[in-house]
Structure 1
Amino acid sequence: MSFGDRLREERLRRHLSQEALAEALALSARSIRRWEQGQAIPQASVRVQLSRFFGLSLEELFEDQKKSSSHTLHWCVPYTRNPFFTGREEYLTALHTSLYTNQEAESTHVYALYGLGGVGKTQIALEYAYRFAKEFSAIFWIGAETNDSLTSSLLQIAKALQLPECDDRDQQRVMTAVRHWLTTHSQWLLIFDNVDDLGILDLFLPSARHGAVLLTTRLQILGTRARGMQLLPMEHEEGMLFLLCRAKVLEADATNEQVLQLSVQKSSLYAVAVNLVTLMGGLPLALDQAGAYLEETQCGLPAYLELFHTRRTILLHQRGEGGQNHPMPVSTTFALAITATAERHPAVGDLLRVCTLLQPDAIPEELFRQGGTHLGPILGTVCSDVLDWNRVIALACSYSLLSRQPEAQTFSIHRLVQAVHLDTMTETERQEWTRRIIEALDVVLPEVQPTTEYPIWKQCERLLPHALLCLNRLTVEDSLALASLAYKTAQYLRERGRYMEAEPLYLRALRIQEQILGPEHLKVAALLNYLAALYWNQGKYAEAEKLLQRALSIWEQSPDHDQLNIARAQNNLGNLSWEQGKYAEAEPRYQQALHIWKQTWGSDHPNVATSLNNLAELYRMQGKYTEAEPRYQQALAIREQNLGSSHPEVATSLNNLAELYRMQNKYAKAEPLYQRATSIREQILGRTHPLVAEPLNGLANLYRDQEEYVKAEPIYQQALAIREQHLGRQHPETAQSLHDLAIFFQRQGKLREARSLVEQALEIRSQSLGNVHPKTIEAQELSTQLAQELKHTEEGAKSQNRTEEASG
């Protein structure tokens, strides 16, 4: 046994990967790889280090040892070793542990590498055969794709063993002879490649055997015949290394360290490679196919990426040279698997069509179970019965085209399976099936309101990426289901603070509803109201007011004079008046909304709390603290009782009450309210949601007012960063952060920093609120004050300098 073989054996015996051994010895993984492949030997000092680590003498570790004659190797493997084989060490280690250590067992287990076509099952089996050849007395390879390949493999094994029956025309006699040999010999490895029918194991394998059996298959369901090891696509680092080596950008024995060097030296080329590995989902066959094309054409990675975007169908059909171990291209591999799977049940084809038009990961089962009636008559019938549904899922997963995640109740499909299947569908089919999916999504996606319970948000988040994709894919705008899904998606995005994404969806929904229902329909009014709310969130107050006035007009002219929606419009118009400093206009609107909601629902409804809170805000801004406090308290109590203590609306009441206490210098009361409001919003909305910035900014103001400047500054910066990122630099709330931070610097005598910030705030407020808004006037007054203070300070400094010069 050579040193490389001995090193590999000792490493695997300790269940170590090449990287783990290198880390333990403070060496490079490349050195370990070169030693095991016989390309180099370590220097003397490292030899001693290896000897100590493995507990072997130098002679044991480095002296060549010959296998005894009883281990003469029978080799019957039809493929050459892949020089570009990359990574996959954990699979090879696990296989060796399972196969080699169980050779002496009385009843050897069968081990199966299973997974999607093109994921590299054959290549791992081949690399295992070459790497561990000397661990076995014989290695036989059986191509299990067809009867012809089985017969051919059987004859080759008989000839390799020089059995008397090797020339017998009776296939059964040849098989019996091979089985007899396997029964009477030990330490052999039998590899069945591409098994689609597990029944062949019963034909070939003897009942008593003393060897190892490995099979590769797309089948996920192995029953009692084999122990399975699922093979997944390459991880990012493995995929990058494989692609770059296969395309001859790097040498065949390159390491991950060299890939990282490429990211620094040729960052644009590295970025293209990252994009390609992502597009191909780490599928080795696709990466090999791309590498072969790049090697043959020398077109370069950027050109190939552009071709993949524009000519994907053709590229996926081109296998290239050097693919003798997997002669079929990606498109053929997947097309055959899709056809074979779909033939097993008529609903399987429809299921795969739906999954092809969704995002590849985390496809939620509830889309089918709850919205299945919209997914065609065949699939709809299956979705309504749990047993039928499970049967169809089992069939769809049987060739590893789909993977089911039972705990999460989701599926996943490889993106290249999607690509190949999508290319087989006509544009008419794509549009028709997308329309069906949109109808199903509209049934399943909840409508989010300000008082919506948080678990519903989780449901929205599961469905959101699929809804966005389908909304983007469907081009014909003649469906109310499309308008409804666009509206619901926009509602959720607005609640999550993703305003820029929400706006085009609201506008699309509005356009469709106006077209189908007419511009004066009540549903159109509701949409106008929510689009106005979005514009209010964005600080676009003039646009918001126009939409609300139009919605109010529709509701007032409706046959039943829709009082509840009139109250909603009046409340929202009151918010706009309040934001623009028109306090006299705001109060009667709030009072009207409060009166309607109390009459309709009683005094303890969440909408009543909304009106009370808004009135309290109005009074606080006018300095009417006595009128404000009891309304804040009442609104908080109603919300906690109806929505629970951890709802975002409760956080709103807590924040506003804290603002009142801060303005009254009741700091001890204000601080825990700010902290609780921040905690609720971070927990429910996420740490970077625009609404989180509000209590953060208030808390910073609180610390500033108490001259705790070290505490205040990082919180100011955090709130400002959130607002700039999600609302933009020209939003009134961004201006509020800049204004408050200016006061913070002013208090510390940092007048230049303060002046710069307040000038930015003044410009934003002038453009978004107008020059007569109270907040614009506030910023103008602060700017003037700072200018005077700065001038006074500079004049004082000059006077001091003159005095010092005169005295000098």
Structure 2
Amino acid sequence: MSGDPAALMIEPLVGWPRKAQAGQSYLVTVDLNGPAAPEDWPYEEEEFDFGVSLDGSRRFVCEALNEPSVVLHRFGGTYGPARFVIKASRAPGPGTIWLTISNRWGVPVRTVELPSEIVADAVVGQGHVVVPALNGRTATLPAEHTVPGQRTGRRPASGVWSPHHITISYAGTDRAWAVWTARQLERHGCQTFLLRWDPPPGVPLARLLSDLLGAPGRVLLLLDEEYLRLGQRTEPEWNEALGAVVRADPDRFAAVDLSARTLPPSTAVLGPVSLRELDPAEALRRLLTTLDLQDARPEPEDESVAPRFPDAPPAVWNVPRRNFRFTGRDTVLEELRALFENGPPAGARVALRGISGVGKSQIAIEYAHRFANEYDVVWWISASFRATARQQFADLAEPLGLADSSALPERVRAVREALRTGRPHRRWLLVLDSADDLEQVYDLLPEAGGHVAVTTLTQGWAASGGVAEVQVERFTRAESISYARRHVERLTEDEADQLADAVEDFPLLLAQTTAWLDANRMSAAEYIGLLRRADADEIGIQTLPDYPIGFQTSWALTLDSLEQDSPEATELLRLFAMFSPGSIPVRQLQRARPGDLPTLLAELAADPAHWLGALRRLSESTAVRMDYVQPSDSVGYVDSVEMHRLYHRFLRRTLTPGERDELSAVACRVLVSADPRSPSEVANWPVYAELLPHLHPSGALESSEAAVRDLVLNCIEYLRLRDEESTGLTLCEQVLARWRIRLAPTHPSMLVLVHQHANMLRRCGRYREAEAVGRAVVEQLAEERPSDDLDLLRAEAGLGGSLMALGLFKEAHQLFDDVWRAYDVLDGPEAPRTQACLNNLGVALGLLGRYQEAADVHAQLLVLRRQSFGSDHQSTLLSGLTYARSLRLLGRHQDATAIQGVNSLLHRQTMGDHHPQTLAALHNQALCLRRSGDIPAAADLLRSLVERCRNLQGVRHPMTLMVQADHASFLRSYGDLTESAELTDAVADGYRHLLGDDHPYTVGVLGNRGLLLWLGGDRAAGARLIEQALRGMTNAVGADHPWTLGCALNAAAVRRLSGRPDEAAELRRETLLRARDAVGRDHPLVRACEAASGTGAEEPPGWDFEPQPI
């Protein structure tokens, strides 16, 4: 039949929100009413398929959950509604959703306007529950409305529902249990549906429970305190509602008990079975038994992807304790989860952004706990201070089972690589808390895999690309009221509403005010009146921009109460303001020498019970959180305290200049007392990592006390030893800006600081700046001090390192030789600094091409270090490496390979696979294998080293560039010219960026690129680069250097093959004579020159430039 379906009298039956909360998602259902009687059906065809679409304009985002159509049947209506999720915009105001019904050919047959007002506050309506959308978000299901008439929703009749369709109703905090329960039931043949229990205030509880029966099958309630307390329901109300609803339909309901306490008597009608404190097998048995599923056969389970049993923690876990008073924020948590689930397959990154005090960190903590059973690794990092963030990230190495390394950058890179590759754990969550400066912590982010959550004040993360953003706003009014009434039970709903209004729904301020009200007897009305009436001048403090006066008022009232009730706690709180808020070292305060603390605090610290009581009082009444440590063999203690940054800022603003100076002196004395005074001892590194964040807020950088200056210098030395040059450079520059005002340039502390500054500049690749700093100090000291002055010798040695990096090898060699001779006289050959300078001298000789002299120096030093430290000491291993390298450069390949093989094994056993010195040893071993003829082994080792150096040290690190350069040369000789060219170009760019165009390394790699072009067929371009490399290397290191002679050998071959035999012959003769003088008659370079001079074969150019470590 060909009748027009539009002739049917259809009525849309729509469930949609008349009011929608800003930013909230809702479920919209669209069904159709047809003719009431089958005989009124006008066509022979018994069903028609109608298309359904929703358009929310700019106010709503609409997404179909299933096929957007409804099949209308002659007998019995439709097969079910079309379902959509709509998300309201964050801006309140009137909105419209346009519904369009289309026939089978896509022609619209009905358009309906669905008005919906977007409001800032939570919607109070009938029967709101939450259902999951296909994209991982959840939506609120409102009571059904109809257009144009009214029609009530239909419930399955008794006896029709299926016992194998189970709706799981849970509080948001128990999501882990809900997911695990659903998975287990699905394995046993059931269909499950998750409904988050989110009852709005004012809706009768019986109505809400009845609405749960709208889904087919049974309803399983996951009960605990949170489930029963949501919406501030009373015990009598629960008793009445459960009695009315459950007794009317007892077979439809079941329940499990997840509470740590005894459930109230009203829940007895449900017969809940407890699942707490059980192993997974027993919990599953009880769950199946209560649902009469104990005989069902389970499907096999893949534990690597299945949700973990909720009481079983992740394999690796480091997250602050859960806030069991956490309230609301389900919308944000669901949005965060959806962004993670729907993020890129390579890994999702989400930033929680909002002003200070809106609860970003609390949301992140709740997310980590709520979704913990879906991860194998959950790791929290305090990211406000770079050094702390990197240390905490590196601490993940041990629980991941990574090889230990004393160098922090290598541990950081090893962890990042383990997370990127998903080995040993693929499901991981990393939280960077208070990461306001993107540049400070961006290098911690793995390139792929897992989930990263960031809390931040700034838009930098979202602007960087690849990071989704969730805007965290203040509480909704409903969340504020719920929070207030749960924390202060005496508040009425109206009082809670007035309090929320007074503090403008700020979560931190609401926490502060409810804590005060809970601890004091003042009436809510009087307290709220104070908050509203107070003037900043009256309460005697400065206001904080962008925040309501309620912040200042409430905290001023809190401080006033503390001052009256506990003066010692107040003084302790003010001292806290002189430390970094992220981790205030209260354990160090308690251990401080009595004379370092004011009398009141010294007495408090001497009494453990009173000390703990004061800390507890601060935790209960102010915005601080305590970190307990509970050793197995002693009484627990508080190790550190975290204070909210906004409250920390407020406290510092309440201090007068005099008070701040006094407290700064106390804080500095405490830090000095905690200084182990030996940053070279690895066992002391955790202490220095703890002290570093407090240097700035304590005033240590401005202190004129010698002991405090020593503390600062020890912290800088710690950063140098941990290879944290970026953080070390920043600290050096901060300290220099302050000390230059107070100290003479030649003051001992200033000289140490400037030396460290030059060292950090050099390590950061800023060689010219390092040279300028070092040369200025050397020139000044040389005018005032004798040649053997220790300060001068140290400055000359530092300058030599900068010069060597810049390619000024002769001047560097002269400095190292002078300094070594002076140390040898002053300290003797066994002294560590004598040996260190002798090592530098050997390296400089090698860079000058004086390979035999370099080998002699390294052999001498190897003997000295074996005698002084033993065979497996790091310094001894370094000397073994440099000696083997010198032998290889001399052409003694078999000797070098034998020595380096043992040396590499000792490096791996002693220092681990990730240490830079181990990588250098393996690199030299690969080159030894190549020169000895073991090409397959050399190929495998070089390729693996390139990947490891990139991942562990970065693509532009000098070691990475060196290894890539050698791998590119290897590929040119034995492998792929295309890959070799790509690598060579990357290395050339890296050296040009790091060292400049005229540095011998840049020039040498340019020559390697010329060889590639020549072999690839572009002989003209190749010849130009090869000749250019010869000129550049001659200018850089002189005509007699082996590097220049190698370039000359290539140029001679090019000239001969380009039809210039006379020029080629002259260059070959000159090169041979120079080579014999430079490296001896038996060196491979000399043999290559002799072979080129004695043959008429058309041999192509092929000498490789090989950069050396600097």
**Scaled by the length of structure 2, what TM-score is found?**
0.45
Out of 879, 891, 904, the position equivalent to 1:674 is 904
Q: How does 1:367-516 map to 2 (within 5 A)?
A: 368-370=590-592, 373-380=595-602, 382-383=604-605, 385=606, 388-389=607-608, 391-397=610-616, 402-407=626-631, 411-416=639-644, 419-420=646-647, 422-426=649-653, 428=655, 431-432=660-661, 433=663, 436-446=666-676, 452-467=680-695, 470=697, 486-516=712-742
Listed as ranges, the matches of 1:72-471 within 5 Å are: 75=236, 93=258, 95-96=260-261, 99=262, 232-234=321-323, 242-245=328-331, 260-261=340-341, 271-272=352-353, 278-280=360-362, 320-322=480-482, 323-326=484-487, 327=496, 329-334=510-515, 346-355=567-576, 357-361=579-583, 363=585, 365-366=587-588, 368-370=590-592, 373-380=595-602, 382-383=604-605, 385=606, 388-389=607-608, 391-397=610-616, 402-407=626-631, 411-416=639-644, 419-420=646-647, 422-426=649-653, 428=655, 431-432=660-661, 433=663, 436-446=666-676, 452-467=680-695, 470=697
Identity %: 17
**Aligned counterpart, 2:527:** none
Q: Structure 1 515/353 Cα, relative in aligned 2: closer, same or farther at 3 Å?
A: same
**Which residue of structure 2 aligns with residue 750 of structure 1?**
976
CA contact (8 A) 1:360 1:414 kept: yes
Give the whole-Å Cα distance in 1 for the aligned partners of 2:703 and 2:584.
Answer: 27
Task: For residue 454 of structure 1, report the CA deviation from its aligned partner.
Answer: 1.2
Report the Cα offset of residue 540 of structure 1.
2.6
Answer 1 or 2: which has greater helix percent. Answer: 1
Cα offset, 1:718, TM superposition: 1.5
Contact 1:697 1:737 in 2 (8 A): yes
* Structure-2 residue corresponding to 1:226: none
Q: Which residue of 2 aligns with 1:653?
A: 879
Partners in 2 of 1:765 and 1:694 — Cα distance? 18
Residues in 2 aligned to 1:537 and 1:760: alpha-carbon distance in whole angstroms = 21
Letter of the 2:674 counterpart: V
Distance 1:503 1:719 in 2: 23
Mapped contact 2:353–2:360 kept (Cα < 8 A): no
Q: What is aligned with 2:947?
A: 717
Q: Deviations over 1:113-158 (max 9, x none)?
A: xxxxxxxxxxxxxxx676568779xxxxxxxxxxxxxxxxxxxxxx
C-alpha displacement of 1:607:
1.0
User: Which residue is equivalent to 1:69?
Assistant: none
* Corresponding residue number in structure 2 for 1:31: 193
CA contact (8 A) 1:281 1:414 kept: no
Return the alpha-carbon distance in structure 1 between the equivalents of residues 681 and 455 of structure 2. 49
CA distance in 1, matches of 2:868, 2:167: 68
Instruction: Check conservation: 1:612, 1:631, Cα contact below 8 A.
Output: yes
Alpha-carbon distance in 2 for matches of 1:553, 1:303: 49
Specify the SS of the correspondent of 1:426. Answer: helix
1:392 positional shift: 1.0
Q: CA deviation at 1:496?
A: 2.5
Tell me which amino acid in the other structure corresponds to 1:25.
L
1:710 positional shift: 2.6
- TM-aligned CA distance change 1:774 to 1:353, over 3 Å: same
- For the aligned residue pairs, the C-alpha RMSD in angstroms reads 5.4
* Alignment length (residue pairs): 587
Contact 1:759 1:783 in 2 (8 A): yes
Task: Please report how far the alpha carbon of residue 545 of structure 1 lies from its aligned counterpart in structure 2 after TM superposition.
Answer: 2.0
CA contact (8 A) 1:675 1:695 kept: no
Q: Given the superposition, is the C-alpha separation of residues 498 and 232 from structure 1 closer, same or farther in structure 2, using an over 3 Å criterion?
A: closer
- Structure 1 position 243, deviation (Å): 1.0
d(CA) in 2 for partners of 1:643 and 1:389?
Answer: 45
User: How far has the Cα of 1:608 moved from its partner?
Assistant: 1.8
2:34 is matched with none
Q: Distance between the aligned counterparts of 1:512 and 1:618, measured in 2?
A: 36
Cα deviations by residue, 1:425-445 (Å, 9 ceiling, x for unpaired): 525459544564345334534
Separation in 2, partners of 1:454, 1:611: 23
**Aligned equivalents of 2:906 and 2:191: distance in 1?**
51
Secondary structure of the residue aligned to 1:233 is coil
- Aligned-pair CA distance for 1:775: 2.6
Using the size of structure 1 for normalisation, the TM-score is 0.59
Q: Report the residue type matching 1:365 in the other structure.
A: R
**Aligned partners of 1:529 and 1:692: how far apart in 2?**
27
The amino acid that maps onto 1:722 is L
Contact 1:703/1:711 (<8 A) preserved: no
| Cα deviation code 1:238-284 (max 9, x no counterpart) | 97x94134x7x96xxx9x9757557689x898744999654336688
Greater per-residue strand proportion: 2
Q: Residue 22 of structure 1 corresponds to which residue in structure 2?
A: 182
User: 1:689-708 counterparts in 2 under 5 A?
Assistant: 694-695=920-921, 697-702=923-928, 705=931, 706-707=934-935, 708=937
Q: CA deviation at 1:670?
A: 0.7
Which residue is 1:550 aligned to?
776
Rounded Cα–Cα distance in structure 2 between residues aligned with 1:332 and 1:34? 29
Deviation of 1:24 (Å)? 2.7
The change in CA–CA distance for 1:41 and 1:766 in structure 2 (over 3 A counts) is closer
| CA displacement at 1:516 relative to structure 2 | 0.2
Q: Which has the higher contact order (CA 8 A, sep 6+)?
A: 1
SS at match of 1:402: strand
Q: Which residue of 1 aligns with 2:394?
A: none
Is 1:536 matched up with 2:762?
Answer: yes
**Is contact 2:797-2:816 (8 Å) kept?**
yes
Q: Is the 8 A contact 1:497 1:690 kept in 2?
A: no
Amino acid at match of 1:426: R
Range that drifts further, 325-334 or 23-32: 23-32
AA aligned to 1:716 is V
Q: Distance in 2 between matches of 1:749 and 1:793?
A: 20
Q: Which amino acid aligns with 2:832?
A: P
- The offset of 1:515, in angstroms, is 1.0
1:31 is paired with a residue whose SS is: strand
Partner amino acid, structure 1, of 2:322: P
Any conservation in 2 of the 1:625–1:660 contact (CA below 8 Å)?
A: yes
How much does 1:589 deviate?
2.1
